[in-house]
């Protein structure tokens, strides 16, 4: 039941990100940005359900990896735009980095939320 609460909180946070329209301002292309949120949260919920024991280091590691994916996506976007859409590798860095960023951020937040819900009073 705790995973449902954690997933609901993460999903609400990411939907807020979606409706405030930060997705196109920060990293995403308007064409594929809505699917990134849905796919990232779905994969994070699935992986969180498969890994039964939550630990703080899992959440912190996932958030650190999300930071790396964000840097990768940011650089891929800049290189892709500078090449006038000729550099396909930079476009793939942008696309997959953005999706990895959302997945890892959702997974990390869910892990930390589950650890917080499991802590003794």
Taking only the tens place, the pLDDT of each residue in 17-36 is: 667 766 666 677 777 777 77
pLDDT of residue 12: 75
Q: Is the pLDDT confidence value at 91 over 80?
A: yes
Alpha carbons 65 and 81: distance in angstroms, whole number: 24
Alpha carbons 104 and 41: distance in angstroms, whole number: 9
| Confidence band of 1 (pLDDT split at 50, 70, 90) | low
The two counts, helices (H) then strands (E), for the chain are 5, 0
User: How many CB atoms sit inside 10 A of residue 66's CB?
Assistant: 21
> How many angstroms from the chain centroid is the CA of residue 63?
9
Scanning the structure block, which residue is given the tokens 């024991």? 53
pLDDT of residue 44: 83
Beta carbons within 8 Å of 104's beta carbon, 6+ residues apart: 62, 63, 65, 66, 69
pLDDT of residue 21: 67
| Confidence band of 61 (pLDDT split at 50, 70, 90) | very high
Alpha carbons 33 and 67: distance in angstroms, whole number: 18
Length of the chain: 121
pTM reported for the whole predicted model: 0.80
Mean pLDDT along residues 41-69: 85
In 74-105, which positions are buried (b, 16+ CB within 10 angstroms) versus exposed (e)?
Answer: bebbeebeeeeeebeebbebbbebbbbbbbbb
Mean pLDDT along residues 92-114: 87
């Amino acid at each position: 039941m705790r995973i449902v609460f954690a997933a609901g909180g993460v999903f609400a946070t990411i939907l807020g990100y979606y409706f405030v329209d930060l997705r196109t301002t920060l990293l995403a292309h308007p064409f594929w940005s809505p699917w990134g949120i849905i796919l990232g949260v779905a994969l994070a919920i699935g992986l969180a359900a498969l890994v039964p024991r939550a630990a703080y280091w899992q959440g912190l590691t996932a958030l650190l990896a999300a930071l790396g994916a964000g840097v990768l996506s940011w650089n891929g976007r800049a290189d892709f735009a500078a090449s006038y859409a000729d550099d396909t590798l930079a476009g793939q860095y942008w696309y997959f980095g953005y999706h990895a960023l959302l997945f890892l951020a959702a997974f990390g937040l869910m892990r930390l939320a589950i650890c917080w819900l499991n802590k003794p009073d």
